[in-house]
Amino acid sequence: MSSNKDTVGGTIKVALILCVVCSVFISSAAVILKPFQVSNKLLDRNKNILIAAGMFDPALNSDSEVDALFAQFDLQVVDLDSGEALSAERLAELNIDPATYDERAVFSDAQYSDAIPADEDVADLKRRVKYATVYTLDASDGSLETIVLPISGYGLWGTMYGYLALDGDGNTVNGIGFYDHKETPGLGGEINNPRWKALWPGKQIFDADGDVALSVVKGAGEGVHEVDGLSGASLTSRGVDNMIEFWLGSNGFGPFLTNLSEG
Ligand SMILES: Cc1cc2nc3c(=O)[nH]c(=O)nc-3n(C[C@H](O)[C@H](O)[C@H](O)COP(=O)(O)O)c2cc1C
């Protein structure tokens, strides 16, 4: 006895079974892999913070060293307007966990971010988060040794994201690093060239009046406030200059750094 399986109904049945099996497989994979994605994202963030602070070199250090090095940092989520760290109650109200809070994920959410008035939007960001994580590291004598701040701003082709590390005085640059950008490799992409980044440590942010004086200039930078611009990449260099002006100014971490200097 034989049966003809090549019917329209049979084909639809096989296709439906295949769809259900595939969707169950893909959904299970997404659920099972989610914790790995989250921990890899955090590992990457932590590594970039350590790189900006000059504590990690991907060529010398292994990923397994990241956790131990990063564990030395304290995390505080700061209200950018007041420059004050959020209390535990306020963090709970806002549903923010400092360990996993991601400024980029809440960038468009009106509860967590505001539109920047056009005349104040020097880094061309359009919006600014109300709360940002500050990473601090204490020296063995208990004094503040390093402060790492998340920074971002538009370059030539898109928004550049990075970290700026400062010494405990809140004024001297310790290092800088970028972990996401769309600049052209060999031109604007040189923002991640170790030789260019080596020009930053020791530079001073504020002048004697407390105004942001650190800038990226076209050509060779002079003195403690100027960093050489990247040759052939003036527009990216200006973008970095703008993000420094924005994030260290009154709309960025200015109030936090003022509080810090006033003890
Ligand atoms: C394909 C292409 C990609 C470019 N990418 C960048 C870039 O990523 N960043 C940048 O500032 N300039 C880039 N430029 C150059 C700018 O158009 C501009 O010429 C340059 O910023 C001027 O810098 P300079 O005044 O130092 O010569 C690119 C140009 C071309 C043709």
Rounded CA-CA distance 18/23 in Å is 9
- Closest Cα to atom 30 of ligand 1: 184
CA of 124 to the centre of ligand 1 (A): 18
Give the domain ranges of the chain.
Answer: 1-71, 73-261
Model confidence over 123-177: pLDDT tens digits?
999 999 999 999 999 999 999 999 999 999 999 999 999 999 999 999 999 999 9
CA of 194 to the centre of ligand 1 (A): 20
Q: Is the pLDDT of residue 233 over 60?
A: yes
CA of 102 to the centre of ligand 1 (A): 31
CB burial string 70-101: b at 16+ within 10 A, e below: beebebebbbbeebebbeeeebeebebebeeb
Model confidence over 209-232: pLDDT tens digits?
999 999 999 989 899 999 999 999
Model confidence over 25-74: pLDDT tens digits?
888 888 887 877 777 888 888 999 999 999 988 777 888 889 899 999 99
Report yes or no: 70 and 46 within 8 Å, Cβ to Cβ.
Answer: yes
Q: Is the pLDDT of residue 2 over 60?
A: no
Round the average pLDDT of the chain to a whole number and report it.
93
Ligand 1 atom nearest residue 229's Cα: 26
- Closest Cα to atom 26 of ligand 1: 232
CA of 223 to the centre of ligand 1 (A): 26
Rounded CA-CA distance 196/180 in Å is 17
CA of 59 to the centre of ligand 1 (A): 29
Report yes or no: 97 and 123 within 8 Å, Cβ to Cβ.
Answer: no
What residues does ligand 1 touch, defined as CB less than 6 Å away? 156, 183-184, 187-188, 231-236
CA of 239 to the centre of ligand 1 (A): 12
Ligand 1 atom nearest residue 233's Cα: 11
- Closest Cα to atom 14 of ligand 1: 233
Q: Is the pLDDT of residue 5 over 70?
A: no
